Amino acid sequence: MIDIAWSSFTPWTALAGGVLVGLAAASFLLLNGRIAGISGILGGLLTPSAGDIGWRIAFLAGLIGAPALWALAAKLPPIEIEAGYPALIIAGLLVGIGTRYGSGCTSGHGVCGLSRLSPRSLAATLSFMFAGFVTVFIIRHVLGV
């Protein structure tokens, strides 16, 4: 049986935030003609070619600058990072290698790919969702960390 965490479940802000993410991907596609896949936008900077750098840096600057701009108007919601430094380093390496090897992450395959009804992106999304569920199950319920 699944126990819902009613005290932390936030359907309305989740839906509203999701719509904003969708609008971001939509404006990126309609204005620039590109898929808003964050791992690809960042990873492309490691093998830079002329004329292909500015828009990547601008998108990432927006993403990184969003909390600062938000903080000017309202209090930022809490960011709780329970993982320790060794775990963060291992997680970072896996996310970096995995997203590039699999050509996308939650934004490119998850949001944009599912929106395009791409079977390839559905397969990728099922893969990382499955691995995420299993990993958290092992960490929290088998190892009991």
Using CB under 8 A, which residues numbered 7 to 36 contact another protein?
8-11, 13-36
Q: Which of residues 99-138 bind another protein (CB under 8 A)?
A: 99-103, 105-107, 109-112, 114-120, 123-137
State which residue, 14 or 49, has the beta carbon closest to another protein. 14
Burial of 137 (0-12, 13-18, 19+ CB in 10 A): exposed
**Cβ 40 to another protein shortest distance, Å:** 9
**Cβ 56 to another protein shortest distance, Å:** 7
**Cβ 75 to another protein shortest distance, Å:** 11
**Cβ 122 to another protein shortest distance, Å:** 9
Q: Does 144 bind another protein (CB under 8 A)?
A: no
In the numeric block, the tokens 């830079």 are attached to 48
Who's near 70: CB < 8 A, 6+ residues apart? 76
Take residue 91 and report the two structure tokens written for it: 């997680």
Q: Does 79 bind another protein (CB under 8 A)?
A: yes
Q: Does 75 bind another protein (CB under 8 A)?
A: no
Q: Does 49 bind another protein (CB under 8 A)?
A: no
Take residue 90 and report the two structure tokens written for it: 């291992």
Which run of H or E residues covers position 74? none
Q: CA–CA distance from 16 to each of 23, 106, 121 (Å)? A: 11, 17, 23
